[in-house]
Structure 1
Amino acid sequence: MDIGTTLVRNARRTPHKTAIHYGEKSYSYVEFNREVNKLANGLISRGVKKGDKIALMMKNSDTYMVTFYAIMKAGAVAVPVNFRLTAKEVDYILNDSDASIVFFDGEYAELVHEASTEKVALQVSAGPTSNGQTRLEEVTTIDESEPGITVDEWDDAEILYTSGTTGNPKGALFDHHRILHVAFSTSIMMKIGPEDNLFHVAPLFHSAQLNLFMITATYLGSTQVIHQNFDPVQALKAIDEHQISLFFGIPTMYNFFLQVPDKEKYDLSSVKRCGYGAAPMPVPLLEKSMEMFGHDQFFNMCGLTEGGPGGVLLWPEDHKTKLGAGGRAMLNTEARVVTDSGEDVHPGQVGEFIIRSEMVMKSYYNKPEETQKALRDGWLYTGDLATIDEEGYVTLVDRKKDMIISGGENVYSTEVEQVLYKHPKILEAAVVGLPDDTWGERVVAIVVLKQGETIDYVELKDFCRKHLAGYKMPTDFFEEKELLRNASGKVMKYKLRESLKAGSSKY
């Protein structure tokens, strides 16, 4: 089986069922499949061959889904690109991935023109064009027949670029076999079926929304509601209007939901399961989110791009006794926490989190040395520091590169952040280490206050002192209007450190 075939089968099995809602437009499965075929045949007519790399720099839309599946049916490899990147960053990904075609929303026409390397032979805009670019309509044909390209499950399907929270992103390469195993596992773990209505509001260039939910929903023949951008009020309206049955979001989205003043007027009772991931979710935020949705069927999906995404899962029943943990190994996955020498750590001891599964990437694209470091003896070394208890529950404590060493003591930023999130006036917090002549590094905290709030930082230090050992205490606080995040919702701590080193107001 391949990813494109899953759409074909549902177009035949349930042709008139609604596949996509986007704005005022809706597509049945047979209509969706026809649109995909028209573009796939257009790509083939322009010389696209199996294995060619095609980039997508597009926001969530019906066009995104049509383009992605057209790439799959043409036997090409999709390279989703973060639409919030600069021209220099986009140029890096297009060059690194060997992309020969790039599809993009019209608003990025100038940026794509500036970014495109000589390798990119065709720039295709879904809107306005610039500097001789091609419009999407010019590539789309009237031929609705199946393209007839034989795609094998071991053929390459995606190059997904890591979030780059510690430097330049790397392209994780996946074939159809690996991505379909993500869909199989997700559908079983979260009990997703054709009857479900799923909501795509997290960006589809990110592996979580793309592989865990878009490809899974299409494989199953579920109905999919797409929003181009996340607006908490509009998202709540959509949940109510479309009777969304499964919602996935990053912790920031749940936080914004809770800030909507009249959120109680929206009927959220159709949502039977909630997933969260891509960043740690503070326990107080999780508890309030459960109260808002009126149930405890929450899944902590603690994984990484290189895993498909995959890793560990905290099931709803585990939230009663293991709240705050990452979870146990997902279906079809093994998980361990090991020392630098590769031995399993003792319960409670900190080590590196590693996984093995059918869903783990083939390699980092064109990076053999990086691949060799990450994939060893069949295991993916994630670079995440974690603990594991006697029952196999893994709890992430930090990225290796984000761990703070102050006076010879290890300080894990997530532990300090969990304390800060308990303060009633704090909306968001991030903790990093800065160089210190005496201690090597000192602990500092960046905080975002809830709307209309002010805070006494002497009082905040006293609050922290009640919950943290002295060496874990933030020495300085930096107040910001928002945390610097990438489009996947992850805090870019290396950027925060650079900004703070350059000087900023502290309290």
Structure 2
Amino acid sequence: MPSWRESSPPMRAEAHFGDRIVRCFAERPRDVNALFAEAVSRNGDGEALVDGAERLAWRELEDIVARAAAGFARRGVGRGDRVALLLGNRREFVIAWLAAARLGAIVVPLSIRAQAPELAYMLAQCEASAIVHEAELADRLPAPSDAPALRTRLAVGECAGSEPFAVLIGADRVDAAVACDEEDTAAILYTSGTTGRPKGAMLTHLGIVHSALHYASTMRLTERDRSIAAVPLSHVTGVIALIATMLRCAGTLILLREFKAVTFMELAARERMTHTVLVPAMVNLCLLAPDFDRFDLSAWRIGGYGGAPMPPATI
């Protein structure tokens, strides 16, 4: 088999962000919307999302995203607006991100572990105009008087003060995605704030698309690959290494709400997982499970990791 360097797509030097020279894939989708459209075109009837008993093909996902985008648009969300996501690993995270992107809006994933003061700061600092949140986290959100820019609140589940997320998805569709510039900001991810206030890192369409292309090409991922999202989707690993990468290869993203070693391995065996990205502690917990040998993980082809060094003994 040829090495990645021998088989990788052509690259070239380009000027971006002023006079910065960066190596770029010569042929690439223009933005996140184009990345999604290519997946739908290449593998429309293939499985895109698995969330518990819910399964969506790529064409089905596109239809829901188009209708959710219309729902956001009815609530005044447009190009450049910030849409915050305070959600766990559920299909609504993926739907809301792609729907916001279709309008040219900027998604702001937030950790479900963030507490009220931190959330109030981040929502105000990024000037979020909409938020999609877990209903049980509603009490952590700032009062309307403390967040006047936050005009739209949508909850997955029922709670006071927020509309149900389901009301977004009506009959109307947004068929034509906003054509974003490659250097436009697509997402803002906040740092943990361990040495001060959280800082918003701006991820461009160019950066997200290139990262997805690198993952897909170096790992040789195709529409036959099935990846489990066991790390938080709100983390950069979830956004880039899992969601965006599965968009690129038009494979299947399988969502795990909460990581437990046995639950993860049961899901991996049942869904014939071929790829995932974990942290070393997760890998160790799987290896330490007393009944590890009973799980058929033979389909697991690629195991990426990050966040900490992997002990050589584990490898």
The alignment's TM-score, normalised by the length of structure 1, stands at: 0.54
Which of residues 168, 176, 186 is equivalent to 1:139?
Answer: 168
Q: Runs of 5+ in structure 2 lacking a partner?
A: 1-29
The AA in structure 2 aligned to 1:203 is: P
Given that 2:87 and 2:112 are in contact with CA atoms closer than 8 Å, whether structure 1 keeps it comes out as yes
Given that 1:217 and 1:223 are in contact with CA atoms closer than 8 Å, whether structure 2 keeps it comes out as yes
Which structure's CA Rg is the greater one? 1
Which of residues 212, 223, 228 is equivalent to 1:194?
Answer: 223
Deviation at residue 201 of structure 1 after TM alignment: 0.9
The AA in structure 2 aligned to 1:4 is: N
Equivalent residue number for residue 127 of structure 1: 157
Secondary structure, in 3 states, of the residue corresponding to 2:138? helix
Equivalent residue number for residue 118 of structure 1: 148
C-alpha separation between the residues in 2 aligned to 1:222 and 1:17?
A: 8
Given that 2:120 and 2:142 are in contact with CA atoms closer than 8 Å, whether structure 1 keeps it comes out as no
Secondary structure, in 3 states, of the residue corresponding to 2:49? strand
C-alpha separation between the residues in 1 aligned to 2:269 and 2:90?
A: 20
Q: Runs of 5+ in structure 1 lacking a partner?
A: 288-507
- Say if 2:255 is the partner of 1:233: no
Go from structure 1 to structure 2 and tell me whether the alpha carbon gap of 1:7 and 1:148 turns closer, same or farther (over 3 Å shift): closer
Given that 1:42 and 1:141 are in contact with CA atoms closer than 8 Å, whether structure 2 keeps it comes out as yes
C-alpha separation between the residues in 1 aligned to 2:203 and 2:279?
A: 23
Residues 36-73 of structure 1: per-residue CA shift (max 9 Å, x gap): 01111111122212110110000011111101111111
Given that 1:80 and 1:159 are in contact with CA atoms closer than 8 Å, whether structure 2 keeps it comes out as yes
The within-5 A match list for 1:32-181 is: 32-114=61-143, 117-130=147-160, 132-181=161-210
C-alpha separation between the residues in 1 aligned to 2:294 and 2:193?
A: 39
RMSD: 1.6
Deviation at residue 269 of structure 1 after TM alignment: 1.3
Given that 1:109 and 1:128 are in contact with CA atoms closer than 8 Å, whether structure 2 keeps it comes out as no
Which of residues 44, 55, 75 is equivalent to 1:26?
Answer: 55
Given that 2:45 and 2:58 are in contact with CA atoms closer than 8 Å, whether structure 1 keeps it comes out as yes
- Say if 2:314 is the partner of 1:262: no
Instruction: State the identity %.
Output: 28
Deviation at residue 184 of structure 1 after TM alignment: 1.0
Equivalent residue number for residue 275 of structure 1: 304
Between Structure 1 and Structure 2, how many residues are aligned?
A: 285
Secondary structure, in 3 states, of the residue corresponding to 2:141? helix
C-alpha separation between the residues in 2 aligned to 1:107 and 1:134?
A: 14
The AA in structure 2 aligned to 1:178 is: G
Residues 113-150 of structure 1: per-residue CA shift (max 9 Å, x gap): 559622211111111122x2222123332123514423
Given that 1:196 and 1:223 are in contact with CA atoms closer than 8 Å, whether structure 2 keeps it comes out as yes
Higher strand share: 1
- Relative to structure 2, which stretch is displaced further, 154-163 or 5-14? 5-14
Secondary structure, in 3 states, of the residue corresponding to 2:189? strand
Equivalent residue number for residue 17 of structure 2: none
Which of residues 225, 231, 243 is equivalent to 1:214?
Answer: 243
The AA in structure 1 aligned to 2:179 is: T
Residues 7-54 of structure 1: per-residue CA shift (max 9 Å, x gap): 222223322111111100100000000010111111112221211011
Give runs of ≥4 in structure 1 deviating > 3 Å. Answer: 113-116
